[in-house]
Amino acid sequence: MRMNDNHRTDHEFENFLKKIGGLVDGYGTTNEPLLLRKQFPIGNGWLGILQRLIQTLINLGWNKEFLLVKEKFGGMSIFLSNIPENGFHFIFEAEKETHSVCQVCGEPGEKRKIRNWIYTLCDNHGDEKLIIQNKGKTYLMRHLGGIKNGDLYYNANTHEVLKCETDNFFDPWSVRVIEFLKNDE
């Protein structure tokens, strides 16, 4: 049973996208519908909020023309085209809601500044949950943005920090990390 209606697994969100026929690439870079979780670089704790917004806008007559969603200053920023009448109200409310919802689990959260980056997190997913110790070094997980060639990433299956050697890398068990503390040796 779901504790809240904000969190979605990657699979649940992709099923929703398939059910609605995907979203339209508003930039026109592809004719294919947007159906993949990796095309939405926000925490799973906010996917339910985004899903409700998308469904509401479709019900208002929106043509599903999607530009971008991103995390900014601990909240979700949403960019869409051809917004239906009164649609901006719902976009504003969805963005506002994310400023008090944990981006990891969807439970109530608050702003936390971690190494000069602002997150909205609950007590269970506070800063200590974002820290990875590996081979004597300390890393901060970065749930936002894709893993690109040259980036460091943490593989949860192998418990290793590795360097990405390809573009457009996606693995649901991996998260981008940055090294932020040098341990004394």
- Asked whether residue 122 is assigned to any structural domain, the reply reads no
- Asked whether residue 117 is assigned to any structural domain, the reply reads no
Q: How much is the pLDDT for 3? A: 62
Same domain, 92 and 35: yes
- Asked whether residue 108 is assigned to any structural domain, the reply reads no
- Asked whether residue 104 is assigned to any structural domain, the reply reads no
Same domain, 70 and 15: yes
How far CA 181 is from CA of 71, 99, 111, 119, in Å, comes to: 24, 28, 22, 19
Same domain, 20 and 93: yes
What are the residue ranges in the chain where pLDDT is below 70? 1-3, 115, 127-131, 133, 138, 140, 142-145, 179-185
Instruction: Tell me how many domains the chain contains.
Output: 2
Q: How much is the pLDDT for 144? A: 57
Tens of pLDDT, residues 97-125: 999 999 888 999 999 887 677 889 888 77
| Closest alpha carbon to 65 in 13, 23, 14 | 23
Q: Amino acid identity of 1?
A: M
Same domain, 18 and 67: yes
Give the number of residues written for the chain: 185
DSSP state of 163: E
Whole-model pTM: value is 0.71
Q: How much is the pLDDT for 185? A: 33
Same domain, 15 and 91: yes
- Asked whether residue 4 is assigned to any structural domain, the reply reads no
- Residue in the block written with tokens 């901006």: 88
Continuous H helices in 27-111: 47-59, 87-98
- Asked whether residue 151 is assigned to any structural domain, the reply reads yes
Q: How much is the pLDDT for 59? A: 97
Q: How much is the pLDDT for 1? A: 44
| Closest alpha carbon to 134 in 179, 98, 175 | 179
User: Domain range holding 162?
Assistant: 130-181
Q: How much is the pLDDT for 182? A: 40
Same domain, 16 and 87: yes
Q: How far apart are CA 79 and CA 168, in angstroms?
A: 22
- Asked whether residue 5 is assigned to any structural domain, the reply reads no
- Asked whether residue 27 is assigned to any structural domain, the reply reads yes
131 and 150 in contact (C-beta within 8 Å)?
Answer: no
